[in-house]
Amino acid sequence: MSQTKPNPQLLHLVFGGELESLDGVTFRDLHDLDIVGIYPNYAEAHAAWKAAAQKSVDNALVRYFVVHLHRLLDPAKPGA
């Protein structure tokens, strides 16, 4: 029986909120940040980001981001 290597856990954080202006990434109120969640891979994080961004389409100042947590946790790891 062959053993398959499980997919590596590449954590991603999805969050967003209202920006002070369209020219930067300074949030208007840090207490109002929307923490969408932490996801085990980019595909799931992207789907969550897309859903959250589509809900806020009427407010041009609201932005959502995907943060590659796995790169912050282990920055020396190749391919991270």
The answer as to whether 2 is a domain residue is no
62: Cα separation from own chain's centroid = 14
57: Cα separation from own chain's centroid = 17
Total tally of structural domains belonging to the chain:
1
State residue 27's pLDDT score: 97
Supply the range of the domain harboring residue 28. Answer: 12-73
CB half-sphere exposure, 11, CA atoms < 13 A: 10
Six-digit token pair at 64?
A: 């959502």
What pLDDT, in 10s, does the model give residues 12-60? 999 999 999 999 999 999 999 999 999 999 999 999 999 999 999 999 9
CATH number, position 65: 3.30.70.2400
The answer as to whether 6 is a domain residue is no
Do 29 and 17 meet the contact criterion of CB atoms below 8 Å apart?
A: yes
The answer as to whether 29 is a domain residue is yes
